[in-house]
Structure 1
Amino acid sequence: MMLDGDEMRFLYYEQKPLPEDLLNLRSGANHGLTLKEGQQNYKAFGACEKEMIPHVRKPKPFE
């Protein structure tokens, strides 16, 4: 599933279109973070990186 910029804002991860098998590809736009790492961090503390916590919002019910 691909999310657009607004839908990804709660995670604060800039996502480029990636096939599912590339979840471990390091992203220059996200300071070397992979999408998988960003998702795991969000589950742990609510943002892709701790430094981004002030910039994220809570997910909407449909997210």
Structure 2
Amino acid sequence: MPDEIHNQIESLKTDSQQLDQTLERYDIDELLENEFNQIDQQFRQLEIQYQSLKNARRFLNNG
């Protein structure tokens, strides 16, 4: 009986290689970094557009 229980426990253990692959696929830090970089890039584009509009308005008001 103890061997049977031991075998069942061993069969239910998580495979360390499979666990590592899953952790790599769902790396939260990397996902957050990518999301932050995308938001940062969009913000920089918005900032450039804002500065362009601001400069165009200044040019048109002074011209």
TM-score w.r.t. structure 1 length?
0.23
**Pair member with larger Rg:** 2
**TM-score, with structure 2 as normaliser:** 0.23
Larger helix percent: 2
